[in-house]
Amino acid sequence: MAKNNVVLIPVDSVSEHSRAVILHALKHNVQPDDVVEVLHIIKPSLFAALKTSYEHREIDEITQQFTGFIKDIVQSSGVSNKISLNVLHGDAKGYIMMEINERSPRLVVMGAHAHGVLPGTGSITGYVSQRSPCPVLVLPHTVSSVESAAGSVPIAA
């Protein structure tokens, strides 16, 4: 698989932890010629599975919220890279691996949650890091406190 100048950052929520992961990646892992793809995957709910109109409305609402969230992060980071957003509804493992296989990123940056048998190796993070043909940087859940201590602007509630 040929690598290109894409950095993929999958996140699972609009949260302080996701903000810290994205900000850390932009400040420390993204090079000037990189294209950044932020991938937000929404877990399907039982109701959404029954009503596709609900799923589309939910995706539209979350996409609007996520767009503002990303704009704030990019502005505070000072980077000028091209950044694309992709909001999907479904299986996170499958979508992340599909994006990796289609985009051939040079790097995937993921955050790890503090729960599980081994913190930082949750099912999605572990799955992707073990199967990805490109490097995967897993940032611990403590990256939130490190980025906040570095003077980052917290997300608005």
Instruction: Assess if residue 154 is contained within a domain.
Output: no
Tens of pLDDT along 51-92?
666 567 777 888 888 899 999 999 889 898 999 999 888 889
The amino acid at residue 126 is: G
Instruction: Assess if residue 12 is contained within a domain.
Output: yes
Q: What are phi and psi of 137, to 5 degrees?
A: -95, 120
pTM summary value: 0.81
Distance CA 26, CA 31 (A): 8
Domain of residue 68, CATH code: 3.40.50.620
Instruction: Assess if residue 37 is contained within a domain.
Output: yes
| pLDDT attached to residue 133 | 96
Number of domains, the chain: 1
Tens of pLDDT along 112-141?
876 643 555 558 888 999 999 999 999 987
Instruction: Assess if residue 42 is contained within a domain.
Output: yes
